[in-house]
Structure 1
Amino acid sequence: MKYFVKISDDSRILLEDLNPDAEKTILFIHGWPLNHNIYEYQLNFFPDKGFRCVAVDLRGFGESDRPYSGYDYDSMAADIKKVIDVLKLDKVTLVGHSMGGALCIRYLSKYNNYKVSKLCLISPAAPSWVQMQDWPYGYTKEQVDGFINQSINDRPKLLNDISGLFFFQYTSPPMLNWFNNISLTASSWATSQCLNTLKTETLFNDIPKIKVPTLILHGVHDTVCPYEFAEYINKNIIESKLIPLQNSGHAGFIEEKEIVNNEILKFIEE
């Protein structure tokens, strides 16, 4: 079922809540510039395995309200906490892709791993999406400024270009159209402001604060969030496991969905 939860500034965010009577809960956090529908192949899998699946449309994306502000990591991490508190979730497996993975890291760091028993990161945009001193991976700030400028002036073309970068294997035109349509539901201001957040925020200090078992699934051909991101996270979370996805780019949960789903299932049930 779908329903809304009020967050800190009285905006409403949409939740898709499947199999709500199940004992164990997985909470899915999507990445930029997507919404919860991108987890279609997980939401068709895990409820049949006996899990409650709660998938969020972050503020400004999908069917959630579209406030003009609040697109920094702290504000969106607070939104995640509000969902957990309102739904009275406990011992949650938190799953985040790309920017959603970065938000999960900030949430666990800021709230001391509150109510989360396990973390799964799929191609996370962390520790830094942009290059900086002693961090030669990811985009340059100038490249991200170009994305922001294109978002303001020709957002459909930007999203079309980004869609192609997400996939390593051949992807059918209808799949790319579906992906683009999901991206276009986001507000223009959320799209550009989240790009600025990805450009300016880092998680080097947050990652060591994660104290729950962590599974990292990352496409070795990822050009949006290079594989070195996953290697860094794996080295800096004490109880973590890294599984390389050999035939995936940034959308491994689509390109190698069977492997991703089964590895998450094994991880939760360990």
Structure 2
Amino acid sequence: MEYWIKAEPDVNVYVNDINPLGRKTILFIHGWPANHKMFEYQYNHLVPLGYRCIGMDMRGFGNSDKPLGGYDYNRLADDIRCVIEAMRLRDITLGGHSTGGAVTIRYMARHNGYGVSKLALFASAAPSLIQRPGFPYGSTRETVEQIIQATYRDRPKMLRDFGELFFYQKVSEPFSDWFFQLGLQAASWSTIAVSKAWLAEELFHDLAKVQVPTLILHGIHDQVCLYPLAVAQHQGIRNSVLVPFENSGHGLFYDEREKFNRELSRFVG
């Protein structure tokens, strides 16, 4: 079932509710610059097992409205709250990939984990995507600035280049084209705005506010959100479990999808 849920008076976010009568609910938050369709290899595995899978497109991406503003983590977390309230979701697992993972952490801290009983982080861009004083583990500020400038100059080429960094395992050319199209469905301005948010957003204090069991899945070959970020998440979140993926990059949901699906379903219960 498809819904457009009002996040602000003039902004609606898209939600795809797969298997609404499923026994346990997982709300998936995608990473930049894709949309909820990136999790199709999870939906195909989890739904037959009886899970309810809800895919949400963040504002500016996929089928959601694409306003010119509202791309800081607070607003994106507030959009998740709007979806959880509108759909009356309770006792769910909230899962997020990359930037989506960072936003789910902000949600847990900002909204006290409303409606969420478990958190799952997939290659999450937390506690900071970029290096900062006292935190030398992220990408460089210059790398992000280059992505921003490349988006202004030639967004399709930027997406192609980013796609080449994304997966550790070799993917087919048709799969690469499909993934490329997910990025093109976003607005150029939202693609740029979220990239700029990486430079400003920190989640060091948010980690300690996560009060639910947390699963951290992260590829050791990740070139986007480097593996030490996962270690920092594990150290900062009480009652968390870190599972390294030895044969995965940033796209661990596809690189090692069988292991990914097995670990996630075991965690959700």
TM over 0.5: yes
Shift of 1:260: 0.5
- The C-alpha deviation readout for 1:97-143, integer Å capped at 9, x for no partner, is 00000000000000111110001100000000111111112222122
Q: Which runs of 4+ in 1 moved over 6 A?
A: none
**CA shift at 1:2, angstroms?**
1.6
Shift of 1:262: 0.6
Counterpart CA distance in 1 for 2:35 and 2:122 is 15
Say whether residues 1:72 and 2:87 are aligned partners.
Answer: no
Any gaps of 5 or more consecutive residues in structure 2?
Answer: none
Residues 111-150 of structure 1 aligned to structure 2 (within 5 Å): 111-150=111-150
2-structure distance, mates of 1:106, 1:90: 18
How far apart, CA to CA, are the structure 2 residues paired with 1:199 and 1:191? 14
Distance (whole Å) between structure 1 residues aligned to residue 60 and residue 147 of structure 2: 18
Residue 43 (str. 1) matches residue 43 (str. 2):
yes
Give the SS at the match of 1:44.
helix
**Corresponding position of 1:224:** 224
Q: Provide the TM-score with structure 1 as the length reference.
A: 0.98
Deviation at 1:47, TM superposition (A): 1.4
CA RMSD of aligned residues (A): 0.8
Moved more, 37-46 or 132-141: 132-141
TM-score by length of 2: 0.98
Mapped to 2, the partners of 1:133 and 1:3 lie a distance apart of 42
What residue is the counterpart of 1:200 in the other structure?
200
| Distance of 2:112 and 2:84 partners within structure 1 | 14
C-alpha contact 1:25 1:53 (8 A) present in aligned 2: yes
Once the two structures are TM-superposed, the CA of residue 3 in structure 1 deviates from its matched residue by: 1.9
Q: Which amino acid aligns with 1:66?
A: K
SS at match of 1:26: strand
Identity of aligned residues (%): 47
Q: How does 1:150-229 map to 2 (within 5 A)?
A: 150-229=150-229
User: What is the alpha-carbon distance in structure 2 between the residues aligned to residue 108 and residue 9 of structure 1?
Assistant: 24
Q: Which runs of 5+ in 1 are unaligned?
A: none
Q: Give 3-state SS (helix, strand or coil) of 2:145's partner.
A: helix
Cα distance in structure 2, aligned partners of 1:156 and 1:199: 22
- Return the alpha-carbon distance in structure 2 between the equivalents of residues 254 and 25 of structure 1: 21
- Match of 2:149, as an amino acid? N
Q: Which amino acid in 2 is paired with 1:96?
A: G
Aligned length: 269
Distance 2:75 2:114 in 1: 16
Q: Which residue of 2 aligns with 1:247?
A: 247
* 1:8 Cα deviation from its structure 2 partner: 2.2
Contact 1:8 1:78 in 2 (8 A): no
Give the Cα–Cα distance (whole angstroms) in 1 for the partners of residues 9 and 58 of structure 2. 13
Post-superposition offset of 1:22: 2.0
Amino acid at match of 2:245: L
CA distance in 2, matches of 1:139, 1:118: 28
Q: How far apart, CA to CA, are the structure 2 residues paired with 1:9 and 1:70?
A: 13
Give the structure 2 partner of residue 258 of structure 1: 258
Aligned partners of 1:238, 1:3: CA distance in 2, in Å?
A: 34
